[in-house]
Amino acid sequence: MSLNKALLDILVCPQCKGELQLEDDESGLRCEACRLLYAIRDDIPIMLVEEAQPINP
């Protein structure tokens, strides 16, 4: 099951309030501005800055 399109449209990065991009494999949401990846577990986005993974350049 994938994330609801309406949910994706309203979610923003909790750190900068910027736009998020869904990873191709739907494993997480990426914030290019903060260079952070927020994991998706059991179809639930984990939107905690302290649990986000840094994106390598």
Q: What is the CATH number of the domain that holds 26?
A: 2.20.25.10
* Number of domains composing the chain: 1
Asked if 15 contacts 36 with a C-beta cutoff of 8 angstroms, the reply is: yes
Residue 46: what pLDDT? Answer: 96
- Three-state DSSP at 44 gives strand
Residue 5: what pLDDT? Answer: 83
Residue 1: what pLDDT? Answer: 52
Sign for the pseudo-dihedral over CA of 49, 8, 32, 23: positive
Domain range for residue 26?
5-54
Per-residue pLDDT in tens (0 to 9) along the chain, 57 residues: 567 888 888 999 999 999 999 999 999 999 999 999 999 999 899 999 999 999 987
Residue 13: what pLDDT? Answer: 98
Whether the predicted model's global pTM rises above the 0.85 cut: yes
